[in-house]
Chains A and B, each alone.
Chain A
Amino acid sequence: AQKVTQAQTEISVVEKEDVTLDCVYETRDTTYYLFWYKQPPSGELVFLIRRNSFDEQNEISGRYSWNFQKSTSSFNFTITASQVVDSAVYFCALSEAWGSARQLTFGSGTQLTVLP
């Protein structure tokens, strides 16, 4: 069975600090997709990134970067120079079976608070 673990329940940083959110997953499939979503205080879920299991290149998008390492089954998310607006709950998710949405498993989320 697939599983996503976000061991950090809550993280608090001061603005402009860098912060890394950890995500460790378990799966028996060789083909799968990994996702990160952001849930700000307003409640909506915002898609951030999707990565398939064949693409281990790290990705950078502005202040956001993602480090995918199959060897350690991790898909970590780093925010550089954090801002107050980054305060949110961040969810990592895994989808097996060629990315079947009905098998999308979410981690329990990490609450990030960025203090001014």
Chain B
Amino acid sequence: NAGVTQTPKFQVLKTGQSMTLQCAQDMNHNSMYWYRQDPGMGLRLIYYSASEGTTDKGEVPNGYNVSRLNKREFSLRLESAAPSQTSVYFCASSEAETGAGNTIYFGEGSWLTVV
């Protein structure tokens, strides 16, 4: 049971570099999400995709872009990394974006350090 798989697990970037975090889910879920986790702040939503073909901003979207490539895959791109983007990033998915099917399942996290 792979569930939600994200890569890479660890990455060190220099300020100004770009990179893409990849995420795929095999649960046939409609909705996918990217969160970041910072110490003492819980998880905060960066972007989400309620269904294939749609994306929308979450609480902290600045400095990021996303692509819902197909139903399975949802990538997060940092165009010009900044030290403030040092964080743990979680991809997640749920059957539906609202209602009874919205239990959100998370990937294992990607530790990103920007120096």
Interface residues of A (CB under 8 A from B): 4, 33, 35, 37, 42-47, 50, 52, 91, 93, 95, 97-102, 104-109
Interface residue total, chain B, C-beta cutoff 8 A? 29
The reply to whether A109 and B42 contact each other, CB–CB distance below 8 Å, is yes
Lowest 3 A-B CB distances belong to which pairs? A106-B42, A45-B106, A44-B108
The reply to whether B42 and A98 contact each other, CB–CB distance below 8 Å, is no
Contacts of B109 in A (CB 8 A): 43-45
Which residue of the partner chain, among A52, A97, A107, contacts B98 with CB atoms under 8 Å? A97
The reply to whether B99 and A50 contact each other, CB–CB distance below 8 Å, is no
Is B25 part of the binding interface, using a Cβ–Cβ cutoff of 8 Å? no
Give the number of residue pairs across the A-B interface with Cβ within 8 Å: 66
Against A, the Cβ 8 Å flags (1 = close, 0 = not) of B66-89 are 000000000000000000000010
The reply to whether A101 and B97 contact each other, CB–CB distance below 8 Å, is yes
Is B64 part of the binding interface, using a Cβ–Cβ cutoff of 8 Å? no
Which residue of chain B is the closest to A4 with respect to CB atoms?
B42
A27 CB to nearest B CB, Å: 15
Contacts of A50 in B (CB 8 A): 103
Q: A43-B88, A45-B90, A108-B41 are in contact. Are A102 and B48 (CB under 8 A)?
A: yes
Against A, the Cβ 8 Å flags (1 = close, 0 = not) of B11-53 are 0000000000000000000010100000011111100101000
The reply to whether A43 and B108 contact each other, CB–CB distance below 8 Å, is yes
Contacts of A44 in B (CB 8 A): 106-109
**How far is it, in angstroms, between the C-alpha of A102 and the C-alpha of B104 when the chains are bound?**
11
